[in-house]
Structure 1
């Protein structure tokens, strides 16, 4: 295999003699990792102007070209952190520390830098440094940015860009670069998730060594719903995380094809992360965000309080930092004069990004770190990791409640602020959830008028299943004259946990007589027993009829029985592992 072949395939490793821990040993870099080179064959060659002895090395799966480079070259990623055996090579774990100037801040317009990552000035942050210190940077994971554009030549996006799985669904070609003058949003989103870090340029993303796929959809006059469906389904064999920082502003507008795409992608192992929205409204009234197979993300201000614009709801799974209560988010910007701007001397970057549009890719980047730590996890597994590691914030907020399984949940924060280091550590030892099971009521007829601005109408039902819940769905059917935004819709479990699914005094007449809500608020609870669902009209002027409801619970199947030999005359007893109640 020639040098040109190796360059084309990207199968290059580079030696930095400063990283050798043992005299006489040489280490080669492969996909941001270092491997000890054994039985290498030396050969003279020139590589990007560096002349010297190269090592052609054959390991279990890779033929790599190795070259000694001067100290300070871009391949030097940090000090050796750990050494351990891996197959026929020794793996050298390195510690990633950003050397990107806008990360630390101090520039005009960028005083606190990327505070959402490093916690400058005491602002809310995702505690990612510990994950980076252990070499979890998103390596080997591809994040798809479903948005208005991508910039393939941006200095902090180009190194991570993967052309082969990128696409423009508006122009129907392989070039996701901006088409319209207003196309810029996706460039900033991409930088938040996985801008290249450690290259001494600009910023770093949460997952600085993850790969990026640009999946452009038009936000211009040629926009179609099918573009977003196709982008959601695109190359899920390779793209294992997709970020969606967009949505429909109106509430209760049905979009079943997006839900189907979400679920199809999830079944293929792709984690869809969706911005909850910036309408100060119920995210559960947005079809794509309400789907249980997505991860809906709210925005947390720098001051540790929910951003005033952020949507909320029982479907919100986690929160992540964004603008509000402090500075905006520093990230990549469209190059030239068309971007958001704001940082003196750095025209290709901005400090003016924010909204749930920024909170969502922060979570998407964290999911890439989780999947690097444990590639066997799907969206259910990732949700288990986040539910068990996210941090309670704004502890005095009245909407926090502890459910029957001991999980704390708040519709403004979900399970809390993501903690990237804790999530990676949990994922490393987490085997993943057991198979999913579902159960429910089937459609139940109610057919009762709802008093206008009057008392609630309630119904009870009984669930006999005992498998621990993950998510639930509740389909509510109303008459065609009902105004969805008038109704408080509550669901209470046998454990006494009440989840508010619909919020009265909000906008939204809707275009459908049936709406499917979801909730993660009952996570881990035993569903067995009597449930109560109630609908109350709290705004005078419209009348309606509650036609029907249908409850579906989704849970982990019981763990398989295991055989244990007890020391009583050789007696074998069948035992089932039990989880804490």
Structure 2
């Protein structure tokens, strides 16, 4: 399993990786002319020659794995032909080749690509006053004070200097006058065209403006009289062009995620599997390996930070069915609009860690996210959770400048501890407190990121203790599930107490589930911790008609039990919700706990929480006493009269 950047057992890592690999459930892919080729040790210098000899344009050495190369065609947009199949067969027989794996093409979509019709900070940029998510004074019918609190971080002197954020997307207009001075060319690459120039491909509808808009949110320069200001306006931005082709491959995703991990600090991804409410999909083998390498080896062992948009499927989807957003190795970010409500496209799930902002519901032309656009232009119309993830990346860049020693896990802890409920409100899911008093919401996670609060805590932060992993228990018996009758299962665990991998303070919890149903979309799964925190692992997805695949060893994840003591009885509840009667079979529930053996700040949170509870009860008693006295006085007065 994945340990801390400096620790962890190889056996544990293999167990976790295998569980994740088994969990990947993909739609049927397409054949491509892209190959993963492993060469024998003495033949690696001949990779280019070998590729051209067998009909490929060239070969690119992969940074993950020994002797691995990407053999790619001249025209990367074409699918596999009969001729390329013959080329592959000849290549496979070449004595220099150890193994050949054809890359399957699959779908990845940009998120949020849709149209929408008292702090003193002086900026000359014309759109700055319209960037309500930076400083909200009530612009575009918004709620004053509901913002990222970047002004406090800026006033403390943190602007992202020395930090590089990579935008993994459809390219960046690096010639844009608001981005050019902060563009990191050395850390950029085009994996769609296999060259160092990730400039967006032109289309009449400007569809490839997605990455440029995201880049501006993070690193648009300040005080240059152009467009607006980035959250971390002195940070460097790298462009990783990897979305602009008719299909995605495991090689392209893994290459993007692992590109220059000692230079790039933060990777921002505003894309994922199709948000159609019926897809269950996640990263493939190479991408999982690259992501694991990133958190263990990136940034000199402190770990690469992966920021992911949680999804735009709205109430029809559940982001726990997205293996990228629900990964423990990513920070999944949802969005709120400028008055604190949920956006109509927001997906909810128990793996979301925190939120930032996106466009408003009203057709106010200034309610969108103001940022850079293609060909030197500016826009007020960036939207979706696509807009939310880069804002989070910008906040994290401020925190890293404040403390360059922060690990990938430190960033997750800081997000949990400093995010605020502020004035966020969700009509469906109530705000609740977990067993140690941390306030969370099923859609917003632990609240909206607070840049000022995060940099202040970062300055004094001590790296969190070593991380451990415990398989708390597993139920393999088949249990029939029917409409009207929920299946209740329990696992009693000591969280591996007495062993080297004892987990006392939780970070992530995974419920690895295998279940089939006559209609997968009507399934609901809840899990309750020993400290009585209930996580909705899977909500109803009304568009999911699957009756064959179900969920096969799928790792549903919750972050809601953060900081809790996992020892005791865990309860899983599986049932159906919908108009038609359904049936199914729950075949496996494996409970995996991830966390630490010591976490002093959690102890302090518990003490503070208990103190607040005691104080609130005392105030309740005093109020009851006051009311009783008032009633007695009224009674006496009425008798005297």
- Range class of TM-score, shorter chain: 0.7 to 0.9
Deviation, 1:417, is 0.8
Distance 2:122 2:585 in 1: 59
Residue by residue over 1:532-570, the C-alpha shift from the partner in whole angstroms, topping out at 9 and shown as x without a partner, is 01211223354321000111111123269xxxxxxxxxx
SS at match of 2:177: coil
Distance 1:256 1:514 in 2: 14
| 1:375-454 to 2 correspondences below 5 Å | 375-392=404-421, 393-395=423-425, 397=427, 398-451=429-482, 453-454=483-484
Deviation, 1:418, is 0.8
Contact 1:252 1:511 in 2 (8 A): no
* Corresponding position of 1:288: 324
| 1:14-29 to 2 correspondences below 5 Å | none
Distance 1:119 1:315 in 2: 28
Residue by residue over 1:86-107, the C-alpha shift from the partner in whole angstroms, topping out at 9 and shown as x without a partner, is xxxxxxxxx9853212102xxx
1:173 aligns with 2:195: yes
Instruction: With the length of structure 2 as denominator, give the TM-score of the two structures.
Output: 0.67
Distance 1:227 1:243 in 2: 15
Deviation, 1:395, is 4.9
SS at match of 2:320: helix
Structure whose residues are more often helix by fraction: 2
Contact 1:259 1:291 in 2 (8 A): no
| 1:27-46 to 2 correspondences below 5 Å | none
Instruction: With the length of structure 1 as denominator, give the TM-score of the two structures.
Output: 0.74
Contact 2:524 2:538 in 1 (8 A): yes
Deviation, 1:142, is 0.4
Higher relative contact order (CA 8 A, sep 6+): 2
Distance 1:499 1:507 in 2: 22
SS at match of 1:188: helix
Distance 2:447 2:340 in 1: 11
Residue by residue over 1:94-136, the C-alpha shift from the partner in whole angstroms, topping out at 9 and shown as x without a partner, is x9853212102xxxxxxxx111101132543111001111210
* Corresponding position of 2:401: 372
Contact 2:350 2:536 in 1 (8 A): yes
SS at match of 1:441: strand
SS at match of 2:507: strand
Contact 2:464 2:599 in 1 (8 A): no
Q: 1:312 to 1:164 in 2, by over 3 A?
A: same
1:255 aligns with 2:283: yes
* Corresponding position of 1:102: 127
Distance 2:605 2:134 in 1: 34
* Corresponding position of 1:524: 563
Contact 2:563 2:602 in 1 (8 A): no
Contact 2:216 2:372 in 1 (8 A): yes
Residue by residue over 1:172-221, the C-alpha shift from the partner in whole angstroms, topping out at 9 and shown as x without a partner, is 11000012413110000000111112323221100000011100013332
* Corresponding position of 1:224: 249
* Corresponding position of 2:263: 238
* Corresponding position of 2:505: 468
Quote the RMSD (CA, aligned, Å): 2.1
SS at match of 1:214: strand
Distance 1:279 1:307 in 2: 11
Deviation, 1:579, is 4.7
Contact 2:336 2:424 in 1 (8 A): no
Distance 2:174 2:484 in 1: 57
- Alignment partner of 2:527 out of 473, 491, 512: 491
* Corresponding position of 1:361: 390
Residue by residue over 1:39-70, the C-alpha shift from the partner in whole angstroms, topping out at 9 and shown as x without a partner, is xxxxxxxxxxxxxxxxxxxxxxxxxxxxxxxx
| Runs of 5+ unmatched residues, structure 1 | 1-94, 105-112, 337-347, 561-575
Distance 2:469 2:337 in 1: 36
Residue by residue over 1:251-276, the C-alpha shift from the partner in whole angstroms, topping out at 9 and shown as x without a partner, is 31243334443332222211100001
Q: 1:578 to 1:415 in 2, by over 3 A?
A: closer
* Corresponding position of 2:313: 279
* Corresponding position of 2:485: 455
Distance 1:413 1:550 in 2: 27
Distance 2:121 2:164 in 1: 19
Q: 1:579 to 1:127 in 2, by over 3 A?
A: closer
Q: 1:383 to 1:559 in 2, by over 3 A?
A: closer
* Corresponding position of 2:65: none
Distance 1:370 1:577 in 2: 21
Distance 1:408 1:559 in 2: 18
Contact 1:170 1:223 in 2 (8 A): no
Deviation, 1:471, is 1.0
Contact 1:445 1:547 in 2 (8 A): yes
SS at match of 1:298: strand
Contact 1:440 1:463 in 2 (8 A): no
Distance 2:542 2:149 in 1: 35
* Corresponding position of 1:545: 585
Contact 1:489 1:501 in 2 (8 A): yes
1:192 aligns with 2:228: no
- Alignment partner of 2:540 out of 504, 514, 523: 504
Residues matched between the structures, number:
451
- Alignment partner of 2:354 out of 310, 314, 318: 318
| 1:113-124 to 2 correspondences below 5 Å | 113-121=130-138, 122-123=142-143, 124=146
Deviation, 1:231, is 0.5
Contact 1:252 1:484 in 2 (8 A): no
SS at match of 2:208: coil
1:149 aligns with 2:171: yes
1:209 aligns with 2:234: yes
1:137 aligns with 2:159: yes
Distance 1:223 1:495 in 2: 42
SS at match of 2:476: strand
* Corresponding position of 2:29: none
